[in-house]
Every structure is written in structure tokens, then in C-alpha cells.
């Protein structure tokens, strides 16, 4: 039986912001190793769990955004046996991350290097590109196509433990009792696809979900319903704001997100989280989605 461990990467010194998951067993596996800025923290956490440089067998990526996959090149340098598993659409960005980094810089500007660090290329012979319909890296770990946050998003269902490694497919869940925050940064959000993904996850019925931002959560069906409501609400809100020319609504949405989560994690932690992952950026991603939808 495999065991699942949530490794807090303590991004920018903030606990409970970015998680990586270690699946113990005959083939030790990491899910979403996080950004390059937390790589040393990741290696310390693995050493604490007894995972040596020769042990790690697999790295599963839910998608290639740098808060999830930016450390991957560093991981394969340090762990020579590890194979990287990623959707076929994301695989070229791991082998040559230049376009990915350029796109991320457009979103985060001068904060890019402080947030995400240096992204290293993954050698092509260390990448196993997943194609729809194929099996997972090992028996009992089933990949599921979960587009919405981005087109190439995957979730992985550990059929032995009932744990679904959801990446961003279930949104941002920073406390078990907190409302879900929709992670909709540009440029790849597709709300229609995401709503279908949430229906599929609910139908699969995992016992719990491992969320990158942040932690292990049960009541997965309720989380799917909550995120679906919030995606639809944000789409309507941004559409109405754009129609009346109200660009200042992005800043209001960011402030409301901080206030909404403050009772659960404290205002300081909410501010530090949304300083890195601005809710105004999520507003902008929804605006871009609506623009594409109109076209």
C-alpha cells in the first residue's frame, strides 16, 4: 500500500501556500515538485522522508505552470533515475521552457525571478509524454484529463488510496473550512471545459483530493460544486464589469478574496498569498477567456 505525504514547500517562507506530494512505495513518486525557488526545501523534505538521490522513480506533473513544475529540471539533475510524466501538450515546454518563461514573465513582471527562480530544461530522454487514453506511470496511478485551468491539465487518481492529485483542477483551498477560490490566470482558462471537468471528478468520486494550494481535503463532491458556482459567478461578474468599462473591479475582486480567506488563515497570510498569486490576475484571466469566447 502506498502512503501519501503532503510536503509544504514554504514558498517565500509562507506555510500552506504550495504543496508537493510524495507517494511512497516500490517506485517513489513526486507530484508537482513546485517552483525552482523552493527546490532546496523540497530536497530537505525528501531527505527527511528517507528518499535518497537514487530512490526517486517518477515525477508527475499536473501541468507546466511554474508554481507546479518550475523545479522539474532541477529535480532530474539531482535524482538521476526519475522520469517526468506530463501531458503531451506540456512536454515540449519542459524540454525547452523559453516560451513558458516568457509567458510567465508577462503575467508576473519584475516579481518573476523572486517568485519562481530559474527554470531548467528537462532532457528529452527523461520525459514520458502522456497521450489521452494511455495508462499511468505505474499500476494503480490513473491519469485523468482535467482541462479548464489550462488545456493540458491532468489529475492523477491513486486507486490504492482513493487520493486524487488534483493540481489546480479544484481551485485554491487554503483551509478545510474556507471557500474555494477560482484559479483563473491567463492565458489558458476555459470555463466550459472546467465545468465538465468538475462533473467528471465528482462522478469518479475520489475519497480525498490532494490540492497544490493547499493540502489534503475530503468532501470532494462539495468542493466541485463550490468551485463550479464560483467560476460561473466570476464569469458573470467580469462580463458585467467589462460591459460597463469598469477595470477597477479587478482590484476590488482581489481585496474581496483577501477578506474572504482572512477569517480562516489570518489577514497576514491571506495578504502574503495573494501578493504572490494575485486575484486581480485571476480576474484578468477571466477577462481574456470572455474575449476569446466572443471572438
For residue 161, the domain's CATH number is: 3.60.15.10
pLDDT at site 107: 86
- Domain contains 255: no
pLDDT at site 1: 46
- Domain contains 190: yes
Edge to edge, the sheet with strand 83-87 lists 4-8, 19-23, 29-31, 58-60, 83-87, 127-130
| 9 Ramachandran zone, left/alpha/beta (phi>0; psi -120 to 50) | alpha
> Burial level of 207, CB count in 10 A (0-12/13-18/19+)?
exposed
- Domain contains 181: yes
- Domain contains 283: no
Report pTM: 0.95
- Domain contains 288: no
Q: Which of the 8 DSSP states describes residue 147?
A: -
Q: How many domains does the chain have?
A: 1
pLDDT at site 148: 98
C-alpha cell recorded at residue 236: 458573470
- Domain contains 239: no
- Domain contains 67: yes
pLDDT at site 2: 59
| 133 Ramachandran zone, left/alpha/beta (phi>0; psi -120 to 50) | left
- Domain contains 101: yes
| Residue ranges in the chain modelled with pLDDT below 70 | 1-2
Which structural domain, as residue segments, surrounds residue 127?
4-228
Amino acid at each position: 500500500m502506498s502512503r501519501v505525504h503532503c510536503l509544504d514547500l514554504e514558498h517565500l517562507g509562507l506555510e500552506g501556500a504550495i504543496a508537493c506530494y510524495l507517494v511512497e512505495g516500490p517506485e517513489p513518486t513526486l507530484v508537482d515538485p513546485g517552483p525552482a525557488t523552493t527546490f532546496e526545501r523540497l530536497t530537505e523534505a525528501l531527505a527527511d522522508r528517507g528518499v535518497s538521490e537514487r530512490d526517486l522513480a517518477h515525477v508527475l506533473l499536473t501541468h507546466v505552470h511554474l508554481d507546479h513544475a518550475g523545479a522539474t529540471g532541477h529535480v532530474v539533475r539531482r535524482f538521476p533515475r526519475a522520469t517526468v510524466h506530463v501531458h503531451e501538450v506540456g512536454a515540449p515546454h519542459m524540454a525547452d521552457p523559453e516560451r513558458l518563461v516568457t509567458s510567465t514573465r508577462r503575467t508576473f513582471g519584475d516579481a518573476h525571478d523572486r517568485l519562481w527562480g530559474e527554470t531548467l530544461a528537462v532532457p528529452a530522454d527523461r520525459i514520458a509524454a502522456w497521450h489521452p487514453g494511455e495508462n499511468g506511470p505505474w499500476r494503480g496511478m490513473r491519469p485523468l484529463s482535467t482541462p479548464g485551468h489550462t488545456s493540458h491539465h491532468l489529475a492523477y487518481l491513486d486507486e490504492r488510496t482513493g487520493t486524487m492529485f488534483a493540481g489546480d483542477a479544484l481551485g485554491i483551498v487554503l483551509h478545510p473550512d474556507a471557500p474555494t477560490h477560482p484559479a483563473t490566470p491567463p492565458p489558458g482558462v476555459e470555463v466550459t471545459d472546467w465545468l465538465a471537468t468538475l462533473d467528471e471528478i465528482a462522478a469518479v468520486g475520489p475519497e480525498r483530493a490532494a490540492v497544490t494550494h493547499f493540502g489534503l481535503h475530503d468532501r470532494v463532491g462539495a468542493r466541485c460544486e463550490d468551485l463550479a458556482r464560483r467560476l460561473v459567478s466570476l464569469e458573470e461578474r467580469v462580463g458585467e464589469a467589462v460591459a460597463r468599462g469598469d477595470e477597477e473591479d479587478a482590484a476590488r475582486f482581489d481585496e474581496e478574496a483577501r477578506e474572504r480567506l482572512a477569517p480562516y488563515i489570518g489577514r497576514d497570510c491571506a495578504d502574503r498569498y495573494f501578493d504572490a498569486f494575485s486575484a486581480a490576475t485571476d480576474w484578468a484571466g477571466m477577462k481574456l477567456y470572455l474575449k476569446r469566447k466572443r471572438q
